[in-house]
């Protein structure tokens, strides 16, 4: 993970690019769902400029790679690009 972290806005953009849709799950949760793979990711409510914690980024990477939505190397490039 990069030193400064990934903002929620950057992560939201990546998730939309790979086919996730976003909805409010509860007043304190944001839900992203990828219908074709039934992959669901839940996040606490973040501001777009707020850094996503490393633990959640590890879960996101694992879900995206394991469900064939992105290659591990492509996710790593996203992290590098976002930190530039």
The residues spanned by each domain of the chain are: 8-83
Q: Write down the pLDDT at residue 3.
A: 47
pLDDT digits (tens, 9 = 90+) for 7-42: 999 999 999 999 999 998 778 899 999 999 999 999
- At the topology level, CATH places domain 8-83 in Double Stranded RNA Binding Domain (3.30.160)
Q: Write down the pLDDT at residue 40.
A: 95
Q: Label residue 17 exposed, middle or buried (CB < 10 Å: 0-12, 13-18, 19+).
A: exposed
The answer to whether 69 and 37 have CB atoms below 8 angstroms apart is yes
What is the pTM for the complete model shown? Answer: 0.88
pLDDT digits (tens, 9 = 90+) for 33-70: 999 999 999 999 999 999 999 999 999 999 999 999 99
- Res. 2: pLDDT tops 70: no
């Amino acid at each position: 993970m990069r030193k400064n972290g990934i903002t929620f806005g950057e992560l939201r953009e990546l998730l939309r690019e790979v086919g996730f849709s976003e909805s409010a799950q509860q007043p304190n949760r944001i839900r992203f769902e990828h219908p074709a793979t039934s992959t669901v990711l839940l996040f606490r409510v973040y501001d777009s400029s707020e850094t996503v914690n490393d633990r959640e980024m590890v879960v996101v990477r694992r879900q995206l790679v394991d469900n064939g939505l992105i290659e591990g190397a492509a996710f790593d490039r996203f992290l590098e690009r976002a930190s530039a």
